[in-house]
A and B are shown apart, each in its own frame.
Chain A
Amino acid sequence: MGRMRGILHIAYKLLINDRAKYAALLVGITFAVFLMIEMTSLFAGILARSSATVINIGASIWVMDPAIQTVANSIPLPSYVLDEVRSMPGVKYAVPLYSGSALLKLRDGTYQAANVIGLDDTSLFGRPTLVDGRLEDIYGENAFIAIKDSEFYKLENPEIGAEFELNDHRGVIVGIARVASSGLFGVPTLYTTYNRALQYIPNTRFTISYLLVEPKSAADVASIKRQVAAAGYLALTKDEFIQKIADFYKYQTGIGTNMLIMTVISFIIGLSISGQTFYTFVIENLEKFGALKAIGAKGRALIFMILFQASFVALTGYGIGVGLCTIIIGLAKLRLPDYAAIVTFGNLALAFFMVVVIAAISSYVGIRKVLKIEPFDIFRG
């Protein structure tokens, strides 16, 4: 490779000294990368937020009705399922979880929808990390813990002791806490005990949203899943539940399809701009490449030159695209705390793969042209 350095130097200078085409190539790749990463990051953000409750509660196994599609739409379980699961071999403990929504009346008289999470009264399993207040105060009268996430301001930025109404019940904020992930639907979250949640929020005959189960060991997970299935319910590990929710949003809401279409369109736009520009670039230099062949350049040297040019443009455009996307997402998050976008390694890898495909297709067309040109054609004019 070291011996190819000179020829690559020529390729580099041919590329960057043609500023108009170099700029067009960079714009094409950067634009495509920016759109692809932006689209997939938005989707990743939506997926992460759609599983916020599962991530924040952190239970190893979730037991639910088999018809459940997302954590937000729970189908209540009868209380005997809790007893049955607790009696299963391999179960270390199992606790109920309430997950529902409520309409709060704030001090200024306005109404605000909120998620209410009811934790097992005894263990408070899945409790958030308090940043203000004392955990034991949750057992006090009308006590709620407010989650300080991007939706916190919708509760009028309450402090300890702040009051609100929930179905004509008085509620008091006794703690401020943080969780790992904000929810998808743009509503604030309150934590309380399971029994208080049932007391404050109208319920159906069955009241348990989910059962949170801790196995005695990792080896017991499969057995617990089988036993729960035999009882007519579904047990999923945390990761499986997150995947199930993600699959719902991907395949059953149209969001996934739309994001896929947008990503493919971004790819096609990038390919069109870069491919066309690179093709023109090669065509304009075709006679010169033919002259190089006549002088004594071997086909593989010319292939190296074109591959280098395509790769250089692709990687530079990729870097600028990633940087631009990161800046835009960062700025958006400064202005819009609810902005759901996460740049994941998966997004970066997907965009990189697509850029490599763009570079490969663009250079393939150029290489074909260059290999076809005969030095004799240069003499013939």
Chain B
Amino acid sequence: MAKTAIEAAGLNKWFGEGEAKTHAVRDVTFEAYFGEILYVVGPSGSGKTTMLSIISGILRPNSGSVKIEDTEIWRLSNDALAEFRLHKIGFVFQDYHLFPRLTTAENVAIPLILQKRDWSEALKEAEIDLEVVGLKDRAQLPPVKLSGGEQQRVAIARAIVSRPDILILDEPTASLDGDTGRNIVKFVREHILTDQRCIVIVTHDSRIYEFADRIVKMEDGKLRGIERENLNGQ
């Protein structure tokens, strides 16, 4: 039995008050395990991103708890939570959010710099991860000189450079064409997923479902259950 990486229980999140109140996440409970890729799917406005933000320690729920490994993350102070995210969670944002004025290597090194690592040491490690994503020869270029797929790979390199246990990818194929999107997720499956890492991907792109271990579906803020399980025979 794989070890539990994320344990979410009774999550609720709403925005606004009175008639303007929107219940974005309703009583969501689920687990994610090390060594698996878990997809969270559902239509726009179903609460996927809100739920993703809650389990990654970015958005505080109105009720419920999130345990990552043995840490109840919403019991941490803001500073401790930021520190936790920095060391334990890697993010790949939908729009990548790479700094256009920094080189590719410097972008990748940012989490290490935030961990107060030495600048040149951080750049060296960044170049190692750029090699992992096949972009070592692009290390000194600014991200704007790269294609969309390459920028996505840079974002992945940035997310894994601090060796996080949890990797969160938000709509990783949304800004890419079909083949590139598939290749990116395939790459994540083959090179980034390890037995010590849990990857959660929010998507509504059915073309990449084949790379998931499990898929959970959200509708109207509720988890409607597991759509598909053990696609890869785990």
Contact = CB atoms under 8 A, between A and B. Distances in A.
Question: Are the chains A and B members of one assembly?
Answer: yes
B177 interface: no
A81 interface: no
Nearest to B103: A13
A292 B97 CA distance: 9
Nearest to A19: B101
A10 B106 CA distance: 8
Interface string A279-291: 0000001011011
Interface residues of A, number: 31
B87 A291 contact: no
B30 interface: no
A5 B119 CA distance: 8
Given A9-B119, A14-B99, A14-B101, A375 B111 contact: no
B106 A376 contact: no
B163 interface: no
A97 B58 CA distance: 82
A291 B52 CA distance: 15
Interface in A338-381: 374-376, 378-381
A376 B53 contact: yes
Contact of A6 (B59, B93, B94, B113): B113
- Judged by DSSP, the binding face of A is helix
B46 interface: no
A296 B49 contact: no
A377 to B, nearest CB: 10
A93 B168 CA distance: 91
Contacts of A293: 82
A296 B87 contact: yes
Given A7-B114, A296-B85, 19 more contacts: A5-B119, A6-B116, A10-B99, A10-B113, A17-B101, A287-B97, A288-B97, A288-B98, A291-B91, A294-B91, A296-B86, A297-B82, A298-B79, A298-B82, A374-B58, A375-B53, A376-B59, A378-B97, A379-B53
B91 A295 contact: yes
B82 A296 contact: yes
A6 B117 contact: yes
Given A292-B114, A296-B85, A381 B95 contact: yes
Interface in B63-110: 79, 82-87, 89, 91, 93-95, 97-99, 101-102, 106, 110
